Structure 1
Amino acid sequence: MRRGFEAPGSARLELVSGVLLLHPEDAVLDGMLDGWEKQQLGRRLEPDTIRDRQSVVRRFVDFSGEYPWNWTAAHMDEWSATLISEGGRAKSTIRAYQGALRLFCDFITSPHYRWSEVCEERFGTHPVQVCYEWNTTAHLDEYEGDADRRPMTREEVQALFDYADDQVERAVRLGRKGALPAYRDATVFKTIYGWGLRVREASRLDVADFYRNAKAPELGRLALMHVRYGKGTRGSGPRRRMVASVMPWAVESLDDYLQNIRSRFPDRTGRQAVWLTERGGRLQPREIEDRFATYREALGFDKSLVPHCLRHSYVTHLIEDGADPKFVQDQVGHRVASTTAIYTGVSTDFTNTMMRRALDRAFQADGQEKV
């Protein structure tokens, strides 16, 4: 570090040297958090992520009853035990909390930011790292979501689509105003399944997010879908990906909606959103989830099923139909193959077919060796 240079977020920049503070402990804590914010902004982390991490630090201060320069590993032990036994937090949530505290401790103990020096001068002690492998939750599993969540079967997917289409016909037959929203919602569900989308990815689609592909001219302008709001890693922005259209019937359904239905909604989004509300706003994920829940209850489906299960079904059914796993991985935007693997719930028939092929190859090889 150059002589006289102070890194953004350092103690000397956040605190005015030589000034007597009325409440020095609170002032130093606020300075640490403000400095940490600047350090993270310099790494281009999202503001929401930074605020969440700062909130974790303040909660830990409240829990321990101590300022960061007085924290010990014992405080971390007690907090982790409380989160696990009383808080009912998911394993991934607890790990995120612990990760935020580890990063904060890294920041305030780094010599580059000189918070240890300030604490020694003002309080006669200094902060230490309190998060270690032996007192934090390890990331042992690739998938830590709800174990009850599963792909929908082909029969369930078809029943959902049929019921959604029936709601359109029913509204038209009765002369009700809900025909257009019902048509839109039916197409939303087919699009989520047809391209393996997350609900937010579907909600954020714009009309300009579709492209032609010379290798699939029969699909017209919907041969490729540009997903611009894919799920990013923690702290980063959305990850983009291009998804190839592989279900012609889904292309036909979406094209019909764009050609004949969307223009009947007012559009006040300024972005030509694909899915519009009756007031001209963009259809939000919560509205998609609520309509799915209504249809799920009407069909008597398991309450654990949510729109995201259609994405799981997309992966499962493509794998069952013989699609290359790497292609499926790229389609849904997974960085590692193991994440795609936990999405799959291949049917018994598919499993038996694969088993039979493996056994036939094994027996054939064994017979050739004996000969």
Structure 2
Amino acid sequence: MQEGWARQQAARFLKAKTIDPRLRLVKRLEEFTGLYPWQWTPAEGEAFIAHLRSGTQPIQMSTARTYEVTIALFLEYLLDRRYGWADTCLERFGEAPQEVFHEGNSVLHTVEYEADPRRRPLDYDEVQALFDAADARPAKVRGQGRKGALTALRDAAVLKTIYAFGTRRTESSRVDLVDLRRNRRAPKFGAYGSMMVRFGKSSKGSPPKRRTVLTVPEMDWVVDVLDEWITEIRPHFSPGRHPALWITERVGRLSPRSVNEAFVAARQDAGLDEDLDLHCLRHSYITHLTEFGYPARFVQEQVGHSHAATTAIYMGVSNEYRNQLLEASLKGRLGDDWSVTV
């Protein structure tokens, strides 16, 4: 059954990183219940979710829905008469698969955003503290007599570039030198006027989405960061002809996991909230572009979202920015003497 379901998903061009976790989840439910799929009932599914919600690390609501949808997809495959599993089970075991999760026992999708509310954009002071901590790590490593000062310099450049272009960690890992390009409309940025993201997040078996992220004037400091990395620091890694922008000491491509570890190390040194993660830099980028006054459509294109609603979810503009908008609106309606009028 699992092999057939895996083939069905592969035929839709879903990636192994999507298929494999789904198969592992089905296996977890099988081990939890001690039953075969044609023996599962709603009671088993409810007990499984209740078990995952207990303990020291209970799953989030969004995770619970993902699990319920995944199990429902597996059972949908088993119940599809074109594959014959239901008839086979009835013939051999006198039982057939049934739906485990239904409207009465599954998480309802009532809001767009269900992720951990502790994940938020960093404010400007927090971004600066993060970068200051990352910049201080090379000297800290050298002072401790350890190796790794060179990689610490790289990690600081990686984190700054991720924030300056609003990229995801996998996108950042897959960027090559040739993806940094000039922007004829912004010649002052030189060779770093834009970044081509060729391995953007895909969905439902589609190929990676491509987009070009333009360097914005408020982030022009990244030009010096990238130039220093490419011309002064990267050559010390002896990269040869390796195409990757970010490389390891063993001359391999920097992995998304290593990018994440770089953020965690800087966050801890900066004393920031431990609930903040690398993706919060992307939230910060979207929020700060909005506060800089860029149109919503431009921000959406920069980060590669298909829908404006998705971009809006990432925003967490400050009260100061909202008050500025309020003041501008009141001036437009009531004139310069609006404060006296109010």
Normalized against structure 2, the TM-score is what? 0.86
Structure 1 residue ranges without an equivalent (≥5): 1-31
3-state DSSP class of the match of 2:316? coil
Alignment match of 2:86 (pick from 110, 116, 119): 116
Shift of 1:239: 3.0
3-state DSSP class of the match of 1:357? helix
Alignment match of 2:282 (pick from 311, 327, 342): 311
Looking at structure 1, the residues matched to 266 and 12 of structure 2 have their Cα atoms a distance apart, in angstroms, of: 44
Shift of 1:333: 1.8
Partner of 1:35: 4
Deviations 1:270-294 (A, max 9, x none): 6421112223222233333333333
| 8 Å CA contact 1:292, 1:307 repeated in 2 | yes
Partner of 2:214: 244
Shift of 1:177: 6.6
Shift of 1:38: 1.6
Alignment CA distance shift 1:359-1:85 (3 Å): farther
Partner of 1:84: 53
Alignment CA distance shift 1:258-1:128 (3 Å): same
Alignment CA distance shift 1:55-1:237 (3 Å): farther
Looking at structure 1, the residues matched to 148 and 47 of structure 2 have their Cα atoms a distance apart, in angstroms, of: 54
Deviations 1:200-237 (A, max 9, x none): 22222211212223322332332221122323336655
Alignment match of 1:69 (pick from 25, 31, 38): 38
Looking at structure 2, the residues matched to 317 and 355 of structure 1 have their Cα atoms a distance apart, in angstroms, of: 18
Partner of 2:320: 349
Looking at structure 2, the residues matched to 92 and 234 of structure 1 have their Cα atoms a distance apart, in angstroms, of: 18
Map 1:1-371 onto structure 2 (within 5 A).
Answer: 32-86=1-55, 88-167=58-137, 179-233=149-203, 238-246=208-216, 247-267=219-239, 271-363=242-334
Amino acid in structure 2 at the alignment position of 1:50: I
3-state DSSP class of the match of 1:111? coil
Residues paired across the two proteins, number: 333
3-state DSSP class of the match of 2:248? coil
Shifted more, 161-170 versus 206-215: the winner is: 161-170
Looking at structure 2, the residues matched to 160 and 222 of structure 1 have their Cα atoms a distance apart, in angstroms, of: 23
Looking at structure 1, the residues matched to 317 and 31 of structure 2 have their Cα atoms a distance apart, in angstroms, of: 47
Alignment CA distance shift 1:304-1:79 (3 Å): closer
Shifted more, 342-351 versus 82-91: the winner is: 82-91
| 8 Å CA contact 1:227, 1:242 repeated in 2 | yes
Alignment CA distance shift 1:222-1:90 (3 Å): same
Amino acid in structure 1 at the alignment position of 2:235: S
Amino acid in structure 1 at the alignment position of 2:15: E
Alignment CA distance shift 1:235-1:60 (3 Å): farther
Alignment CA distance shift 1:133-1:360 (3 Å): farther
Shift of 1:354: 0.9
Shift of 1:48: 3.0
| 8 Å CA contact 1:193, 1:311 repeated in 2 | yes
Shift of 1:60: 2.1
Shifted more, 84-93 versus 181-190: the winner is: 84-93
Divergent runs of 4+, >6 A: 169-177
3-state DSSP class of the match of 1:148? coil
Looking at structure 2, the residues matched to 218 and 169 of structure 1 have their Cα atoms a distance apart, in angstroms, of: 32
Looking at structure 2, the residues matched to 71 and 307 of structure 1 have their Cα atoms a distance apart, in angstroms, of: 39
Between structure 1 and structure 2, the one with the greater Rg is 1
Partner of 1:19: none
Alignment CA distance shift 1:211-1:257 (3 Å): same
Q: CA RMSD in A?
A: 2.8
Normalized against structure 1, the TM-score is what? 0.80
Structure having greater relative contact order (Cα 8 Å, sep ≥ 6): 2
| 8 Å CA contact 2:12, 2:205 repeated in 1 | no
Amino acid in structure 2 at the alignment position of 1:99: V
Looking at structure 2, the residues matched to 176 and 105 of structure 1 have their Cα atoms a distance apart, in angstroms, of: 53
| 8 Å CA contact 1:266, 1:276 repeated in 2 | no
Alignment CA distance shift 1:297-1:110 (3 Å): closer
* Identity of matched residues, %: 45
| 8 Å CA contact 1:227, 1:241 repeated in 2 | yes
Partner of 1:11: none
Alignment CA distance shift 1:120-1:334 (3 Å): same
3-state DSSP class of the match of 1:135? coil
| 8 Å CA contact 2:242, 2:251 repeated in 1 | no
| 8 Å CA contact 1:46, 1:237 repeated in 2 | no
